[in-house]
């Protein structure tokens, strides 16, 4: 299984399998630390999110260039300035290092060819209806919540699904296109 062989921790959200570039230059905004990840019908229906999901940008979220120079924000389906995938949760978990809060930085993976495993992706459409199963080779896009999805909202391909999640292993392996 992917999780056993690669050292993925079930609550980590993202595991880097092949890194092209990791950017640690960009800063978080206030919204990057406080955004509510359980506020829409789509987020509430998403089986990969729960009441325990922290606020702020999540590991595995797609990030885009912010309006303030030198910042990144959670991307939305309509962004054309998506730059990568967040490596860590901005606010962390209880009893863990809160490096995003302490440093104000949002490290992210970028570069076409980067490969990572994540258990954070959309499982519901905007209205809350369940999405069809993910399959290997499928192009992935950015949802309105900044998560990977199979739904074509803006038509901008963020990555290609290499290994689909399953009932026994919820992690998907993705190769970036951004």
> Using one digit for the tens of pLDDT, what is the confidence trace for 42-99?
999 999 999 989 899 999 999 999 999 999 999 999 999 999 999 988 886 555 555 6
Q: What per-residue confidence (pLDDT) applies to 95?
A: 59
Indicate the range of 32-36, 58-62, 151-155 predicted with least confidence. 151-155
Average pLDDT of the residues in 30-43: 93
Q: What per-residue confidence (pLDDT) applies to 88?
A: 87
Residue ranges of the alpha helices (H) in the chain?
A: 2-6, 30-34, 41-45, 99-103
Place of tokens 């509430």: 44
CA–CA gap between residue 107 and residue 16 (Å, rounded): 12
Selected residue with higher pLDDT from 89 and 176: 176
Residue by residue, DSSP assigns 29-48 as PHHHHH--SS-SHHHHH-TT
Q: What per-residue confidence (pLDDT) applies to 163?
A: 98
Q: What per-residue confidence (pLDDT) applies to 10?
A: 46
Count of the separate structural domains present in the chain: 1
Q: Nearest-CA neighbor of 135 among 120, 147, 150, 114?
A: 150
Average pLDDT of the residues in 168-175: 96
Which residue range is the domain that position 31 belongs to? 2-176
- Asked if the model's pLDDT at residue 11 lies above 70, the reply is no
Tell me the pLDDT tens digit for each residue of 54-68: 899 999 999 999 999
Place of tokens 């640690």: 24
Q: What per-residue confidence (pLDDT) applies to 93?
A: 56
Percentages (nearest 5) of helix, strand, coil residues in the chain: 10, 25, 60
């Amino acid at each position: 299984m992917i999780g056993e062989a690669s050292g993925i921790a079930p609550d980590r959200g993202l595991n880097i399998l092949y890194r092209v570039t990791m950017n640690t230059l960009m800063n978080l905004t206030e919204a990057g630390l406080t955004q509510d990840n359980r506020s829409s019908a789509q987020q509430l229906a998403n089986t990969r999110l729960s009441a325990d999901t922290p606020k702020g940008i999540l590991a595995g979220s797609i990030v885009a260039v912010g309006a303030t120079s030198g910042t990144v924000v959670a991307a939305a389906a309509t962004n054309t300035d998506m730059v990568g995938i967040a490596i860590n949760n901005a606010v962390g978990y209880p009893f863990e290092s809160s490096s995003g809060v302490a440093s104000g930085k949002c490290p992210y993976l970028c570069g076409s060819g980067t490969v990572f495993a994540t258990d954070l992706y959309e499982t519901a459409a905007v209205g809350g209806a369940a999405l069809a199963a993910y399959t290997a080779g499928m192009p992935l896009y950015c949802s309105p919540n900044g998560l990977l999805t199979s739904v074509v909202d803006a038509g901008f391909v963020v990555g290609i699904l290499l290994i689909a999640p399953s009932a026994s292993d919820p992690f998907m392996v993705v190769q970036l296109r951004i």
